Structure 1
Amino acid sequence: MSGYRELLRTRGVGRIIAAQLAARFPGGMIALALLLHVEHTHHSYGAAGTVLAAVSIGQAVAGPVTSRWMGRWGMRRVLVLTTAVTASAIAALALVTAPLAVTILLGLVAGLASPPVQSAVRTIYPKLVPSSQLTALYSLDASLQEVIWIAGPVLITFVSTQVSTVVGLVMIVGFTLAGGAWFILSPELGRVRIPRSRRSFGRVLLKPTVVLTTVLGFLLIGACSAVEAGVVASFGEGAVESGFVLAVFAVGSFAGGLAFGHRPMAPWSMARRYAIVAVGIALTLVSLDAWWMGGSLVIAGLGIAPALAMSFAITSASVKFSETAEAYGWIGTGQLIGAALGSAIAGFMIDGSGPRGALTTALAFALVGVVVAVVFVRAFPDLRHRDASPLPDTEPVQTQP
């Protein structure tokens, strides 16, 4: 922990971590808030699922695009525009009773305008700390983001069910504007400028590491989404046991990120981290008892934040600084698709074979992740003897002999 304390004493690090967590906090609430609100107003879970799908599609499409825009127009301009548009769309969803088609369109707009905060902050990190501390910073970031997924759903469920779904969505608008303003006004955004990429859009996917981290993010978040569906199906909607089990799952991830964040990242590290996740999920199939599942998912969680942290670090080390934001945008898109597909497959499996079907789905996602990490191990950079700083944006200069 002394290493993390030293890291947080570095100028601007604690402030930018807190600001980006505040700006991203609505991400832990929006899906549940819309599910409750649209079902309440349109009296259909099918309608609610369609709106959530529109939001997810918008986020997946926009991620790489808005991230790349930051190199062209600057981080603050893009973040101000996207924050204002997504807040307006969510406010309209809350305050305007509209036909389902209009509600779906507003959900799509909210998704398309999602502020690229993750891409921005992970592009800023290499400019804030010495290169020797960069992998630890990515680990700390991956661990602390669990706060979003623990506190967000609890808060929005309480407000939406005990007060009003409209108040819940308005609260999200408030968090979006306040957190976004805090992040946008952070001095670090003014001190760091992303160079404009000279390569065409999507060319960063020619980097094997970016493709690998995108695929692995898809598999990891797909596994997590299937686990969540399986846990809820095991104990029933709204059961206290579900909240407990999912909370300790997140706590395991938090602890894993802090415990393993200082360890050097070798090419085999990714396979080991995915193996931890797979072993933990496999243990849940032994028993659906809440205590057993909680203990099993603590083990699974120990590999999640470290796996994400390694994805961020090796991506940073493999691309030019001007390409980092777009690369992180693609990784985010992979994760969003994984979340949607993992939940969908798990849902069908629950209908066919109960909660164990969802957990088996999660195990399959995790095992494929292990296989991918093993088969393509040579594509991972070895960060044991080098830092995770992005490659410089330089080109050879022709000189006369």
Structure 2
Amino acid sequence: MTLADHPPATAPPTATYGAVLGSRHVARLLAGTLTGRLPNSMVPVGLVLWITGGGGSLAFAGMLAALYGLASGLSQPVKGRLMDRHGQARVSAPAVLLNAGCLAALPLIGAGGQPTVVTAVVGFAGLVTPPLEAGLRALWPTVLPDLGRRRVVQALDTGSQGLLYIVGPLLASWLATAHGPDTALTTTAALGLVGTAVVLTAAPSQTWRPPAADGAAGRGRLMSAGLIQLFTALAGTGFAFGAMNVWAAGMAGTHGLAMFSGVLPAAFSTGSFLGSLIYARRARPGPPATQLITTSALFLLGWMPLLTQPGPRTAIVFTAVPGLFYTLIITNGFHTVDVLAPPSRTTEAYAWLILSVGTGQAAGTALAAALATRLYVLAALPAAGAATALTILALARRDLGTTSPRGRHRRPRQHPNHGNHGNHRSNLPPHERDTYVPVVGSPGHQAVRNGAPAYASAAAQEEWLAATRGQEQRAARARAEWFGKSPLEGTRAQAGPQWRPPARMGPRAAAQDASGGPSPSGTSGQQLRTP
């Protein structure tokens, strides 16, 4: 199979809402994950109502709610690592059973039970929350191989999660009011079980396995400079969101409108969902790091109107504006993780991203709470968090990478001796002649479009990429063998009399190379074949 055998690629699959949601398993995985993650937003409210309804203090109830969220967030990377090693069902199934069991046991213990026992049960329940979000992100490349459709569904996924923090607290409050706090906790446990079961019984989750680690590099450490800077920047994004919640409470107290403490976060979440819809319709291909920086800049600009101290009605609109870009930041953050993380540890990397945003949110809430009496300062804190995130991303642009995701649109490997001497295999050492891929634009590489190979189908592209990876591995081994000895010792006997360095290329060979004619070894540049 020659590289020129593939005609130009056909148009990519349609990436509309109907096409994406109509794809096999997509609607089921989305619905199951959202249902299974409802307890994350219901448990804090349910615990507060359960403790206070049983005569406990609000301070103790708030501590339990914070403990549950903190334990859930801190354990995410560990559960992601286990999922990368053992698969999704072996991690999420025991986790959801233990989590639901703890939540269902709380009514049996009673709100007036031993505080130490209640605290231990709540903390353990947080530690064993099933990692559904990170697991779903790891499934999308298998369910939707097309990158355009994957962008759409990931944006919808991120935007829909914002609605969980509107629906969840309202549902928990209604259940506690209508049927009692014990029923609210029991229902929360049941929802987690049902949602997780829907996901784990789907075929993609049952058959999913992480990519095998490729040598020492695949088993190496996860945290590169780019990932560390990315997670730090996204913590700044979470900081803005956490500070906004306290600013909303301050606005409610200033204007005497108690409902504003919930209306303004709901406006932000609504803007986030609308942003996901717009992004899904208008997304353009491009390096995720570049899109991440652009959307972070827009996120910062969206917070600026809050500095004008708007009135109640105007504040609702102003709060929705940065929400439009929040989904875009998180979505492109996940895409950047796809580029930077080792393929065998992507679920763990997703979990670190989730933890980073949650940690930033907690920090923003804590700092804003300490400055709750200064409304002008509260209005500036979200912008400060967004500015920090943008600054880190801009400085880390090179480490984040500006190329397309790994394994996509890869340029063929170029030999360092390419230049005025052309790109014939005759200019390479013997061990590299059979692993050579012609450079873009050369006679041996005709199927090129926009600096990347064009293929008739995704299968043809994957076939070529697999061959390229094999070429690179064989070339690396050959170089190690070739340069294992000094170039002055034994090279003539190993190379044979036919090899010459590029500087000795004669006029006849150069003319043949420029015209695509036969090389000295009898192989035409037009007919170079991949193994």
TM above 0.5, yes or no, is yes
Map of 1:124 onto structure 2 = 139
Map of 2:196 onto structure 1 = 180
Residue 347 (1) aligns with residue 362 (2)? no
Residue 361 (1) aligns with residue 378 (2)? no
Contact 2:95 2:128 in 1 (8 A): yes
Q: How do residues 54-69 of structure 1 correspond to structure 2 at under 5 angstroms?
A: 54-69=67-82
Map of 1:264 onto structure 2 = 285
- TM-score computed with the length of structure 2 as normaliser: 0.69
2:128 to 94, 100, 113: 113
Query: Residue deviations 1:350-401, cap 9 Å, x none?
Result: 0x42x44333222211111111121112223335698879x99999465789
Cα distance, 1:239 vs. partner? 2.7
Map of 1:241 onto structure 2 = 260
| CA 2–314 in structure 1, closer or farther in 2 if over 3 Å, else same | closer
| CA 42–288 in structure 1, closer or farther in 2 if over 3 Å, else same | farther
Equivalent residue letter for 2:32 = A
Distance in 2 between the 1:5 and 1:23 partners?
24
Cα distance, 1:118 vs. partner? 1.1
Equivalent residue letter for 2:260 = E
Map of 2:160 onto structure 1 = 144
Distance in 2 between the 1:326 and 1:110 partners?
20
2:119 to 87, 104, 128: 104
Map of 1:378 onto structure 2 = 398
Map of 2:206 onto structure 1 = 190
Equivalent residue letter for 1:367 = A
Distance in 2 between the 1:387 and 1:311 partners?
18
* Bigger radius of gyration among the two: 2
Cα distance, 1:288 vs. partner? 4.4
Q: How do residues 160-179 of structure 1 correspond to structure 2 at under 5 angstroms?
A: 160-179=176-195
SS in 2 for 1:203: coil
| CA 317–5 in structure 1, closer or farther in 2 if over 3 Å, else same | farther
Distance in 2 between the 1:202 and 1:100 partners?
43
Distance in 2 between the 1:239 and 1:387 partners?
52
Map of 1:6 onto structure 2 = 19
1:224 to 241, 247, 250: 241
| CA 36–229 in structure 1, closer or farther in 2 if over 3 Å, else same | farther
Instruction: Return 269-278 or 180-189, whichever deviates more.
Output: 269-278
Residue 204 (1) aligns with residue 222 (2)? yes
Instruction: Return 3-12 or 40-49, whichever deviates more.
Output: 40-49
Equivalent residue letter for 1:252 = G
Cα distance, 1:86 vs. partner? 0.9
SS in 1 for 2:16: helix
Contact 1:222 1:340 in 2 (8 A): yes
SS in 2 for 1:145: helix
Count of residue correspondences: 397
Contact 1:72 1:196 in 2 (8 A): no
Contact 1:209 1:315 in 2 (8 A): no
Equivalent residue letter for 1:155 = L
SS in 2 for 1:130: coil
Question: Which runs of 5 or more residues in structure 1 are unaligned?
Answer: none
Question: Which runs of 5 or more residues in structure 2 are unaligned?
Answer: 1-13, 410-464, 483-531
| CA 265–304 in structure 1, closer or farther in 2 if over 3 Å, else same | farther
Cα distance, 1:238 vs. partner? 8.3
Contact 1:131 1:388 in 2 (8 A): no
Distance in 1 between the 2:371 and 2:245 partners?
13
Query: Residue deviations 1:327-365, cap 9 Å, x none?
Result: 011112212212221111111110x42x44333222211
Query: Residue deviations 1:104-155, cap 9 Å, x none?
Result: 2112101110101111110111111133322233222212222212211221
Contact 2:303 2:319 in 1 (8 A): yes
SS in 1 for 2:362: helix
Distance in 1 between the 2:86 and 2:294 partners?
40
Contact 2:15 2:152 in 1 (8 A): no
Identity of aligned residues (%): 23
Which structure would you say has the larger RCO, counting Cα contacts within 8 Å and 6 or more residues apart? Answer: 1
Equivalent residue letter for 1:289 = G
Map of 2:92 onto structure 1 = 79
- TM-score computed with the length of structure 1 as normaliser: 0.90
| CA 60–259 in structure 1, closer or farther in 2 if over 3 Å, else same | same
Contact 1:21 1:145 in 2 (8 A): yes
Cα distance, 1:170 vs. partner? 1.2
